[in-house]
Amino acid sequence: MELVKPSIGLIFWMAVSFSIILFLLKKFAWKPILGMIKEREESIENALAAAEKAKEEMKALQSNNERILAEARAERDTLLKEAREMKDKMIAEAKTTATKEGERLLAIARENIQNEKMAAITELKNQVATLSIEIAEKILKSELSSDEKQKTLVNTLLKDVNLN
């Protein structure tokens, strides 16, 4: 059969030209095409990886921001609390100081009053004594102005001293 009989001429030309085209295509077509495809695949892969990384970084940044915010909030709370405490403390201290001062002043005032009172009493006592002596002197003078009266007094006094 003509169909299944290989022809030497065609085999020869095919072998020669296929070798040539294989060499030419390998050098000038497949190498750059495959290289470029590989390069592009790598660049796409890199880009995807970079995007993923950026996403993660973004997430990290966000959580970081949240953390900083939380920290700031906490710090503000602490500061406020401290301020309040300080205020309370100051008020309390002021109160204590004022009370103490008041008490001290009161004590001093009381002492002064006492002193003044004692002085007044002493003076009053002195004056009463003086007055009493003067009264007694006047009474004695009037009682003992006549003999009669001196006798009556002696009698009265003697009556009282009766059986003692």
Residues contributing to the site for another protein (CB under 8 A): 2-15, 17-18, 21-22, 24-26, 28-34, 36-37, 39-40, 43
CB of 54 to another protein, least distance (A): 20
Of 2 and 160, nearer to another protein (C-beta) is 2
- The CA distances from residue 42 to 28, 46, 47, 127, in Å, are 22, 6, 8, 124
- Among 14, 38, 16, 34, CA closest to 26: 34
Of 14 and 136, nearer to another protein (C-beta) is 14
Contact 143, 149 (CB under 8 A): yes
CB of 32 to another protein, least distance (A): 4
Of 5 and 141, nearer to another protein (C-beta) is 5
Query: Which tokens go with 155?
Result: 């009698």
At 142, the amino acid letter reads: S
Residues near 153 by beta carbon (within 8 Å), at least 6 away in sequence: 143, 144
Of 40 and 95, nearer to another protein (C-beta) is 40
Q: Helical H runs in the chain? A: 8-25, 31-143, 147-160
CB of 78 to another protein, least distance (A): 54
CB of 56 to another protein, least distance (A): 25
